[in-house]
Amino acid sequence: MAAGTGMATFWRWSLVKRLFNKVPALSSHLPLTLITIPTDILHIILKLLKDSPNDGPHPRYDHEHCPGIHLFSLSGTCRYMRAQTLSWIFREGYNWRREGVTVWPASLWPFFVTLHIRDRSIRHPAHIPVLPEMFGALPMMPALTRVTLRLDAPIPAELLRALSLVPHLTILEIHQARFDGTSPPPSLPFAALENLLICISGFQGVKRGENIDRAREIDNVFVLLKNLSDSLTKLQISGDFLGSSFLSLRWSRLQKFCITEHTPTPYIPVPELVSGMPAVRDLSVLFSADLTRDSADPYPPFRLGIPGGELLTHRSPLLATITLSNLEPTDPIFAQLPQSLESLHILAMQDWYSLGPGSPQRLREAPFTATTVVTAIQQISHLEDLAELSLTLDDFATADLIHRIAAVFPRLRFLQLGRSVYSHGRVFCPDVCDESIPDALERLPHLTHLRISLDFVERQFQEGPQESAARWLFQRLPRLCTVAFSWQQWFYASGFPHVVWHFWDRSVLLRPPSRPPSPPSIFETRSLAGIPPWEQANSN
């Protein structure tokens, strides 16, 4: 981790140097400095410095440090640099490490774009006060567009009221949410809010406090959602917070709906959940085993559809992308998928539980087997226009499976094949250099993006075999644009599934191999680079 952090810092400083070299001097008598370069170039440099990782001894807790820490020294050099750096230093605000001060100075309020609010530190057990003085300050922040909350205590109704008065708040994320406190007011303006996330997971996984009043939570969340159903375009919410009252809401603008973590109680089938969403285009149903709920059968596979039900597009005619998890290959939902569907992703999800006494030793998920995946493909064979397909298996894909996929979905441009998250023992790289694999992939003439997700156990990751596999695939498949391998980890980390990909494009053929090609060998893990820039636009 430290090595990767150091390399990122080195790269940013190298880029700053190159930017300097490309800027022409304004005068032969005027030296090129941070003060004399054009403002737009200066802002690029300041952004790079702000985004530089902290090289401290605890990189795991970098989220508790100001990301603009590298700019503090620069801001003290002169008045000009102070004026230029303030908006970058205080673009993100935090309510911890305040040394007893409960509210930020009013002079900083115009700079805050993002605020992170907690009532407990991650590194230390100390309580962080969240006081009414802060509530009054929030509506006075004109540039504030995003707020994240992580509170152990129930969310105060006064805090929700204050957030609803922030004039330009567009994104609200409520992690490790608890709503069994005072009911929110029936009227919450939220003039600009478009994106809402409410999940029970946080930095400690899905662990929740004891004696939570679930019925009260569902009622309070309903009050909040009722205020927002006409304005939200994106909603990600845990099924724990949904009851039958949710079905009475109409979501006229909602385009992306993601229901995560656990199923509602009592259970609500997917077609009923989306019945009031005429504009939704992207639907994700990511239910996983609830190992904390007192239920007769909290484990997958779950039944998502309704036997004999109508097509999902009868109520949601714009559906183009659907992601499902932990379902049986004969689930009725498959028959309800519209023929015009463009993207289908079938995953095997599991919650993330923090380590320690009482943590589950075996997390439950429901990947397809070599037999059931064939049944699933038969169930969705009517999706003739499918361009993207992801499947999670209990073992690596074979050439025979790829042949079956190609026969049913000849128009695929994106294919992702991966094995189940949880496995014991060492895991080997699939032998994609075996002639049968590229021969099968050649049956997909439109395929441009291939991803293979693996499940690793150890901590040291070896790139050589993956790069060799990528080279071989590019040589055999001339239309292929990108190949990606991942350390597969479909955990709910702070409410989001987290997968890290290592990408290659065809430029790998223009440089010599990093090591001689070798037979597939044991892979071990490390944290890889995130989604590259050309993929980031599609990752939200």
pLDDT digits (tens, 9 = 90+) for 100-150: 667 888 888 898 999 988 888 776 667 888 888 889 999 999 999 999 999
Q: Six-digit token pair at 440?
A: 């099968």
Domain boundary, last residue among 59, 89, 119: 89
For residue 293, the model assigns a pLDDT of: 67
End of a domain among 61, 89, 117? Answer: 89
- Whose tokens are 């590194």? That residue is 123
Q: Is residue 485 part of a domain?
A: yes
Cα-Cα-Cα-Cα dihedral of 390, 377, 423, 359, to 10°?
A: 80
pLDDT bin (cut points 50, 70, 90) of residue 78 is confident
| Domain presence at residue 131 | no
Average of per-residue pLDDT across 290-300 = 68
What stretch of H or E contains 375?
Answer: helix 372-379
The total number of structural domains that make up the chain:
2
Does the pLDDT of residue 495 top 90, yes or no? no
On whether residue 487 sits in a domain, the answer given is yes
Summarize pLDDT for 169-197 with one digit per residue, the tens: 999 999 989 999 998 888 899 999 999 99
pLDDT at 516 over 50: no
Least confident of 238-242, 363-367, 438-442, 463-467: 463-467
Cβ atoms of 346 and 376 closer than 8 Å: yes
Rounded Cα distance, 104 and 337, in Å = 50
Least confident span in 80-89, 127-136, 168-177, 502-511: 80-89
At 465 the pLDDT is 64
Of the residues 41, 65, 89, the one at which a domain ends: 89
Residue-number span of the structural domain to which 441 is assigned: 367-540
Give the highest mean pLDDT range of 87-96, 361-370, 493-502: 87-96
pLDDT tens for 392-408 read 888 767 888 899 999 99
Residue ranges of E strands in 90-131: 92-94, 114-118
Say if 293 falls within a structural domain: no
Per the domain annotation, does 339 fall within a domain?
no
First to last CA, the chain: 25
Residues 406 and 343: their CA atoms lie apart, in Å, by 15
Section 252-275 average pLDDT: 92
Mean pLDDT for the stretch of residues 23-32: 56
Strands 282-287 and 321-325 come out as parallel
Average pLDDT over residues 75-91: 70
Q: What is the pLDDT of residue 245?
A: 93
- Check residues 167 and 471 and name the one with the higher pLDDT: 167
What are the residue ranges of helices labelled H in 191-231? 214-228
Q: Which helix (H) or strand (E) segment is 401 a member of?
A: helix 399-408
Pairwise pLDDT comparison (305 vs 353), residue with the higher score? 305
- pLDDT at residue 129 in the model: 81
- Band the pLDDT of 353: cuts 50, 70, 90: low
Percent of the chain with pLDDT over 90: 35
Average pLDDT, the chain: 77
pLDDT at 423: 46
CATH number of the domain that residue 502 is part of = 3.80.10
**More confident of the two residues 360 and 79:** 79
The rounded distance, in Å, linking the Cα atoms of 133 and 105 is 12
| pTM summary value | 0.81
The residue type of 286 is: L
**Position 299 in a domain:** no
Quote the CA–CA distance of 303 and 514 in Å, as a whole number. Answer: 47
Distances (CA, A) of 92 to 143, 145, 293, 486, 530: 11, 11, 36, 31, 21
Tell me the β-bridge partners of 486: 453, 501
Structure token digits, residue 182 = 């005072």
CA distance 156 to 247: 26
pLDDT band at 380 (very low <50, low <70, confident <90, very high): very high
